[in-house]
Amino acid sequence: MSERLRIALTKGRLQDQSVELFEGMGLDCTPIKNPGRRLVHSIPNYPLDAVLAKAPDVITYVEHGVCDLGIVGKDTILEKGGAFYEVMDLGFGRCRFALAVKEGSDFYGTYKTRRIATKYPAVTKEFFEKKGMDVSIIKIEGSVELAPILELADAIVDIVETGATLRENGLVPIEDVAQVSARLLVNIAAMKLHRTEILDFISRCEQELKRPK
Ligand code: PRP
């Protein structure tokens, strides 16, 4: 009898694509798709329980070993870091981190300290440190695009997927900071303790990702 694994899935954008991947692997995801008020969802035909969590919590659960596996965006991994194995690029949830400014503004054409609004201060700090540029980072929790409009910031560092949010708010991307996609994480101890089950799960993921669509 194999041990049941527990996986933390990121709620929202990555959730449906994670479920699609699992269904392609033959997992019955009915409990995840009809959660009601339940927070832990048992897959009936595979030894796996799933919990849905906000992206940074996925990393916390995997790091602490309360979840053996996790699916989270590279954006959150770059921002939060942590001790876990990042075993696979799942290929979905593709977007990029970009530096964006108000259309027509000359971001590099001044010696004043630039103010950058972002939900990702660690990523932003590293990006400008590499350039040797001293910037002032303003942490925003959501709708970062508002910051340049309100003149709180000269630029933003944020996730760009379709580019629609930037366009509709008169902003333009001027530089890529990093590429982002969903990653599969594994808890370090679980990789030893539940090796057989984890490797079975990983190989099913790999096979599904390789399958021509
Ligand atoms: C993200 C990001 C941008 C938007 C980009 O926000 O912060 O605002 O999506 O997507 P687009 O390029 O397809 O327009 P999200 O919707 O996750 O909401 P949030 O701002 O509340 O975090």
Q: Are residues 89 and 99 in the same domain?
A: no
Q: Are residues 81 and 100 in the same domain?
A: no
pLDDT (tens digit per residue) in 78-96: 999 999 999 999 999 999 9
**Which burial class, exposed, middle or buried, applies to 99 when counting CB atoms under 10 A from its CB (0-12, 13-18, 19+)?**
buried
Phi, psi (rounded to 5 degrees) for 90: -80, -10
Q: What is the CATH number of the domain that holds 89?
A: 3.40.190.10
3-state SS of 153-179 is: CCEEEEEECCCHHHHHCCEEEEEEEEE
The overall average pLDDT reported for the chain is 96
Position in ligand 1 atom list of the atom nearest CA 158: 7
Q: Are residues 24 and 80 in the same domain?
A: yes
Position in ligand 1 atom list of the atom nearest CA 163: 12
Q: Are residues 129 and 165 in the same domain?
A: yes
Q: Are residues 185 and 89 in the same domain?
A: yes
Counting the structural domains of the chain, the total is 2
Q: Are residues 172 and 108 in the same domain?
A: yes
Q: Is the pLDDT of residue 143 over 90?
A: yes
Q: Are residues 9 and 67 in the same domain?
A: yes
CA of 200 to the centre of ligand 1 (A): 34
17 touches ligand 1 (CB under 6 Å): no
Q: Are residues 206 and 139 in the same domain?
A: no
pTM: 0.94
Q: Are residues 88 and 185 in the same domain?
A: yes
pLDDT (tens digit per residue) in 32-58: 999 888 899 999 999 999 999 999 999
CA of 159 to the centre of ligand 1 (A): 6
> Which pLDDT value is given to residue 2?
61
Q: Are residues 119 and 89 in the same domain?
A: no
Q: What percent of the chain has pLDDT over 70?
A: 99
169 touches ligand 1 (CB under 6 Å): no
Q: What is the mean pLDDT of residues 22-35?
A: 96
Q: What is the mean pLDDT of residues 109-117?
A: 93
Q: Are residues 12 and 89 in the same domain?
A: yes
Nearest to 181 by CA among 46, 75, 110: 75
> Which pLDDT value is given to residue 45?
96
Q: Are residues 121 and 24 in the same domain?
A: no
* Residue 193 vs residues 62, 114, 188: alpha-carbon distances, Å: 14, 49, 9
pLDDT (tens digit per residue) in 174-184: 999 999 999 99
Domain that holds residue 125: 95-179
Pairing of strands 95-102, 155-160: antiparallel
Q: Is the pLDDT of residue 1 over 50?
A: no
Q: What is the mean pLDDT of residues 135-139?
A: 98
164 touches ligand 1 (CB under 6 Å): yes
pLDDT (tens digit per residue) in 161-210: 999 999 999 999 999 999 999 999 999 999 999 999 999 999 999 999 99
* Token pair recorded at residue 137: 């980072």
Q: What is the mean pLDDT of residues 60-68?
A: 98
